[in-house]
Amino acid sequence: MLNDAVLLLYLLNFLFIALLPAIFFRHDGSLNVMWWLTAAPFFFCAAFLIAAYVGLFPAAVDHNTRVGDVLELASVVLSTASIALIALTLGTHRIPIALWHQDNDTPEHIVTYGAYRYIRHPFYAAFLLTLFGAFLFAPHPVTLITFVYGLIALNLTAAKEEVKLSTSKFGTDYVVHQESTGRFWPKFWRIPQ
């Protein structure tokens, strides 16, 4: 049986992610097919957690064991880190940014401070923390698939964005930024000054 409080934490984490297009990103485009395909693992993962909670899917790990406790604790840490990273990233931006997968998502500026000082895509990193934490919370092929699918989709999205940025008017600055930061994880061996 899934822990009520941890499930609530994850549902709030997924809700926070789902609300970002409405509360933060620019509204000069539409949610096209690619946006929905990239967002799909978040909807499926949240729905699966609810279905597992009500008993539609058997638990792969007994949460009343030491292993279950460790996985649950790790999942809480990851969800909390995701929420904190989203909040930090929101606080970094002075103006809303383009919503990914839109024709008009060409950047108007680059950000290399705040969370971006260490990673180039902190929103995506936070999203991946959520999906991986959900897998630890409810280890099941479905949550594993949502994590792997999300990792692939966000990696492809990030790569496309990085091509746009490196060929934009900010290209030279962005290439320098790429060399000192990781895509989703910090480059601890090359932390920028």
Per-residue pLDDT of the chain (193 residues; tens, 9 = 90+): 789 999 999 999 999 999 888 777 766 666 778 888 999 999 999 999 999 999 898 877 777 788 889 999 999 999 999 999 999 998 888 776 766 656 666 667 788 888 989 999 999 999 999 999 999 999 999 999 999 999 999 999 999 888 888 888 888 888 888 888 999 998 876 545 5
Tell me, what amino acid is at 53? Y
Q: How far is CA 98 from CA 68, 102, 110, 148, in A?
A: 40, 8, 12, 25
Q: What is the pLDDT of residue 149?
A: 98
Q: What is the pLDDT of residue 93?
A: 81
- For 13-50, letters b (16+ CB in 10 Å) and e give bbebbeebbeeebeeebeeeeebeebbebbebbbebbe
**Would you tell me how many other CB atoms lie within 10 Å of the CB of residue 54?**
9
pTM summary value: 0.89
Tell me, what amino acid is at 18? A
Q: What is the CA radius of gyration of the chain?
A: 17
Residue 138: CA atoms inside 13 Å, Cβ hemisphere, count? 33
Q: What is the pLDDT of residue 190?
A: 56
